[in-house]
């Protein structure tokens, strides 16, 4: 994985249908940077949910034959979601799950999505198209100014910004539909 700033700044935008979201991105000059891939994610925490209470997160992700462990720090208040993000490839999934268990961590939530990454030539920002069991989202990651400019170019405004995690969005989706929450999987 390439080195990047340890502070991640992002927003999500509810995008409706996949094809309309792709058209929006193409019209704004975005091109596919990484093709669509299936991601399987597990959020790890202690049985007492210490990380959740602290506002931090530990995630194990499988995608493209790679296993990545990610730590996300507390979010900094604002219209964008900004927080420390550290990630590293960790080798084998089963070994990492066993190591996490020995350290007192267990899976508390699993979520899946299909993700396509888009970029505009010469820009440092990243747009992703996330297809999830609860809807389609465009995620914009970059500097706050880049996110604001790009959101406007895509036809969105600040009231459209979503800073909640997929876990939080899933819980709200379940609440609205009176469905018992479980894992957000296809």
Give 69's strand partners. 60, 88
User: pLDDT tens-digit profile of 36-79?
Assistant: 999 999 999 999 999 999 999 999 999 999 999 999 999 998 99
User: pLDDT tens-digit profile of 136-164?
Assistant: 999 999 999 999 999 999 999 999 999 99
Alpha helices (H) in 3-125, listed in sequence order: 18-27, 50-54, 93-102
Residue with tokens 């996300």: 72
Rounded Cα distance, 103 and 46, in Å: 9
Please give the structure tokens belonging to residue 69: 């462990």
For residue 1, pLDDT over 60 is answered with no
For the chain, the straight-line distance linking the first and the last C-alpha, in angstroms and rounded, comes to 27
Domain ranges of the chain: 7-177
Other CB atoms closer than 10 Å to residue 81's CB: what's the count? Answer: 22
**Percent of the chain having pLDDT more than 90?**
97
For residue 11, pLDDT over 90 is answered with yes
CA torsion sign for 173, 130, 128, 62 is positive
Give 41's strand partners. 61, 111
Rounded Cα distance, 131 and 179, in Å: 20
Pick the CATH number of 7-177 from 2.40.320.10, 3.40.50.1970, 1.10.520.10, 2.60.40.10: 2.40.320.10
Write down the mean pLDDT value for the chain.
96
Rounded Cα distance, 84 and 74, in Å: 7
């Amino acid at each position: 994985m390439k080195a990047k700033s340890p502070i991640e700044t992002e927003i999500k935008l509810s995008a409706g249908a996949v094809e309309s979201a792709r058209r929006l991105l193409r019209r704004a000059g975005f091109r596919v940077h990484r093709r669509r891939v299936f991601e399987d994610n597990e959020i790890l925490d202690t049985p007492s949910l210490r990380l959740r209470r602290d506002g931090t997160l530990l995630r194990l992700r499988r995608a493209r034959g790679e296993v990545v462990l990610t730590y996300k720090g507390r979010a900094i208040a604002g219209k964008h979601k900004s927080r420390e993000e550290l990630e590293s490839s960790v080798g084998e999934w089963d070994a990492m799950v066993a190591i996490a268990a020995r350290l007192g961590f267990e899976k508390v939530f699993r979520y899946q999505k299909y993700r396509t990454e888009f970029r505009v030539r010469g820009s440092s920002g990243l747009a992703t198209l996330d297809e999830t069991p609860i809807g389609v989202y465009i995620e914009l990651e970059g500097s706050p100014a880049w996110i604001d400019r790009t959101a406007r170019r895509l036809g969105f405004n600040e009231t459209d910004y979503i800073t909640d995690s997929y876990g939080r969005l899933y819980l709200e989706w379940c609440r609205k539909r009176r469905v018992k929450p479980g894992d957000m999987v296809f």
